[in-house]
């Protein structure tokens, strides 16, 4: 008989836990969903009466929170009790790259996964299904199972039982609600048929059966890492081609379109840019590389490492290009940075390419005027300070785009926010110091509009001067 889930607890109220549980609560009004976190400030924001204060910005999220919060969706720090009352527990905690110790700089740091698993082992009651939602190295389910079983067996008369499933999350930030409501697939890995059915039955309320894929638990864990590695690899591939376009007169958007129409290649994830950011691509590839090295598969490790190398190279060549075009020196020059989040429609700045590119320019003495519609000054400051850059007098933040642009030598577009797509370049030209430059790393500016001005103009993957090289 199918296990009926009435109460869910999700450990971790972050970019995944918050939106994922909001959608489950929205689709299953008969299930009580409790999202718990040790971060009191974050929980306070999730509970804020002002929906603009939610800790995560995602289009469509606040409407769901408004519908479900206090009905069957609750956010709290009461980890112990919410675990105790749950039939199904999602582990959705952070798994960043280890900073020190064995595997530092590569392996995922599993301390939060381990501590939350121990909390589950200690407080869970009855038959409990534990679902890995975090992205984890292949074989982690075994570690989780071991912890749960050893704690369980050490208590005499304990009747709690656990089944572990892997259910990785594929949402992308900025599109999270749409991805959750209309997923390409839901992946469930595990051994216990009852547990798999219990989780599948939740998703089946809004996801068609054929999109719910069942695999063994290791395939599920490895598929998540592989999926991110493949996506990142496409971006490094197109970015590497963008540099060749700049030398030859080929245009990256035309090349992307031409290859993307081949149904074997497909048109998505072929936008050249300043390099990929976000909390996961880099950490997941590093983790994959670590696992390859662990198994002695060094050449395969090198292959995936090269995806990261090209990403760093892309960022570096953009900052070098800006410096070069501004006569080889940006010292004392005001440069307006448009966009600091790692992509549009999110306030997330983790691993944003803007961080490294801005730091390169700041190191060269540039004065940066930074704008982002959703990222605030403190967040930018903490990203810089985390990388030991403390000269905060060399950059400023102003929520008004035009105020930032006044007296700038150059504008550098780093995020594809829609606000930047409709700028009036003829007006902007009047505000800038001459000769002025616009560097568009996202290919969002209106080419023809800028051409009507005297602004020097560069877009990634397009040739700047009209001379083409020949090999003869």
Q: What are the catalytic residues?
A: 280
State which residue, 136 or 171, has the beta carbon closest to ligand UGA: 171
Phi and psi at 11, nearest 5°, equal -90, 115
| CA 32 – CA 153 distance, rounded (Å) | 29
| Alpha-carbon torsion (220, 226, 232, 235), positive or negative | negative
The interface partner of residue 38, options being ligand NAD, ligand UGA, none and the CB cut-off 5 to 8 Å by kind, is ligand NAD
Tell me how far CA of residue 464 lies from CA of 236, 303, 310, 340, 421, in angstroms: 21, 32, 22, 25, 20
**Cα Rg of the chain, angstroms:** 24
- Judged by CB under 6 A, the stretch of 33-41, 68-76, 242-250, 277-285 that binds ligand UGA is 277-285
| Consecutive H or E run containing 127 | strand 127-132
Question: Please, which residues have CB within 8 angstroms of residue 289's CB and are 6 or more apart in sequence?
Answer: 106, 301, 304, 305
| CA 302 – CA 325 distance, rounded (Å) | 34
Tell me how far CA of residue 6 lies from CA of 35, 208, 210, in angstroms: 14, 21, 24
The interface partner of residue 276, options being ligand UGA, ligand NAD, none and the CB cut-off 5 to 8 Å by kind, is ligand UGA
Q: 449, exposed or middle or buried, with CB in 10 Å at 0-12, 13-18, 19+?
A: middle
The interface partner of residue 95, options being ligand UGA, ligand NAD, none and the CB cut-off 5 to 8 Å by kind, is ligand NAD
The interface partner of residue 128, options being ligand NAD, ligand UGA, none and the CB cut-off 5 to 8 Å by kind, is none
Q: Are the C-beta atoms of 11 and 116 separated by less than 8 Å?
A: yes
Q: Is residue 270 a contact residue for ligand UGA (CB under 6 A)?
A: yes
- Beta bridge partners of residue 23, listed in sequence order: none
In 3D space, the residue among 43, 39, 11 whose CA is nearest the CA of residue 113 turns out to be: 11
- Rounded least distance, CB 67 to ligand NAD, Å: 21
In 3D space, the residue among 439, 287, 420 whose CA is nearest the CA of residue 357 turns out to be: 439
Closest residue by beta carbon to ligand NAD: 14
- Rounded least distance, CB 430 to ligand UGA, Å: 31
Query: Which of 14, 19, 278, 461 forms a contact with ligand UGA (CB under 6 A)?
Result: 278
Query: Which of 280, 354, 401, 444 forms a contact with ligand UGA (CB under 6 A)?
Result: 280
State which residue, 146 or 454, has the beta carbon closest to ligand NAD: 146
- Judged by CB under 6 A, the stretch of 206-214, 265-273, 377-385, 423-431 that binds ligand UGA is 265-273
State which residue, 147 or 321, has the beta carbon closest to ligand UGA: 321
State which residue, 164 or 252, has the beta carbon closest to ligand UGA: 252
Q: Which residues bind ligand NAD (CB under 6 A)?
A: 11-17, 36-39, 42, 79, 92-95, 112, 115-116, 119, 134-135, 169, 171, 173, 279-280
In 3D space, the residue among 210, 214, 222, 162 whose CA is nearest the CA of residue 188 turns out to be: 214
Q: Is residue 137 a contact residue for ligand UGA (CB under 6 A)?
A: no
- Rounded least distance, CB 11 to ligand UGA, Å: 18
Binders of ligand UGA: how many residues, by CB under 6 A?
Answer: 21
- Judged by CB under 6 A, the stretch of 19-27, 164-172, 193-201, 452-460 that binds ligand UGA is 164-172
Q: Is residue 166 a contact residue for ligand UGA (CB under 6 A)?
A: no
The interface partner of residue 269, options being ligand NAD, ligand UGA, none and the CB cut-off 5 to 8 Å by kind, is ligand UGA
Q: Could you tell me the end-to-end alpha-carbon distance of the chain, in angstroms, rounded to an integer?
A: 75
State which residue, 41 or 299, has the beta carbon closest to ligand NAD: 41
Residues near ligand UGA (CB under 6 A) are: 135, 169-173, 228, 231, 235, 269-271, 273, 276-281, 342-343
């Amino acid at each position: 008989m199918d296990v009926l889930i009435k109460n869910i607890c999700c450990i971790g109220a972050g970019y995944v836990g918050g939106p994922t549980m909001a959608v489950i609560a929205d689709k299953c009004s008969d299930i009580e969903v409790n999202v718990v976190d040790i971060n009191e400030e974050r929980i306070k924001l999730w509970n804020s009466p002002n929906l603009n204060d939610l800790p995560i910005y995602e289009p469509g999220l606040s409407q769901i929170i408004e519908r479900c919060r206090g009905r069957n969706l609750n956010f709290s720090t009461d980890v112990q009790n919410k675990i105790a009352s749950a039939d199904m527990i999602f582990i959705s905690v952070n798994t960043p790259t280890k900073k020190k110790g064995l595997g530092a700089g590569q392996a995922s740091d599993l301390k939060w996964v381990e501590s939350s698993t121990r909390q589950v082992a200690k407080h869970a009651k009855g038959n409990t299904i534990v679902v890995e939602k975090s992205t984890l190295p292949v074989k982690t389910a075994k570690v989780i199972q071991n912890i749960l079983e050893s704690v369980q067996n050490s208590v005499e008369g304990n009747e709690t039982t656990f089944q572990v499933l892997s259910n990785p999350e594929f949402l992308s930030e900025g599109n999270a609600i749409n991805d959750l409501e209309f997923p390409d697939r839901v992946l469930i890995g595990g051994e216990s048929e009852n547990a798999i059915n219990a989780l599948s039955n939740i998703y089946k309320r809004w996801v068609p059966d054929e999109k719910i894929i069942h695999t063994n638990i290791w395939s599920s864990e490895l598929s998540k890492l592989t999926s991110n590695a493949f996506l990142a690899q496409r971006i490094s591939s197109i970015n590497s081609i963008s540099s060749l376009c700049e030398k030859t007169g080929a245009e990256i958007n035309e090349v992307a379109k031409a290859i993307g129409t081949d149904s074997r290649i497909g048109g998505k994830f072929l936008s050249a840019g300043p390099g990929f950011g976000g909390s996961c691509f880099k950490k997941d590839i590093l983790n994959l590389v670590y696992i390859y090295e662990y198994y002695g598969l060094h050449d395969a490790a090198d292959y995936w490492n090269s995806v990261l190398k090209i990403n760093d190279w892309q960022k570096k060549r953009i900052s070098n290009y800006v410096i070069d075009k501004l006569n080889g020196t940006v010292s004392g020059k005001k440069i307006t940075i448009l966009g600091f989040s790692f992509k549009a429609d999110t306030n997330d700045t983790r691993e944003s390419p803007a961080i490294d590119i801005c730091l390169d320019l700041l190191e060269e003495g540039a004065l940066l005027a930074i704008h982002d519609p959703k990222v605030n000054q403190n967040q930018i400051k903490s990203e810089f300070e985390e990388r030991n850059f403390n000269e905060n007098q060399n950059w400023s933040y102003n929520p008004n785009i035009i105020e930032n642009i006044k007296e700038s030598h150059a504008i550098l577009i780093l995020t594809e926010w829609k606000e930047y797509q409709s700028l009036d370049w003829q007006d902007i030209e009047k505000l800038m110091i001459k000769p002025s430059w616009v560097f568009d790393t996202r290919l969002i500016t209106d080419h023809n509009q800028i051409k009507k001005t005297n602004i020097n103009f560069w877009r990634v993957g397009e040739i700047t001067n009209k001379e083409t090289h020949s090999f003869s």
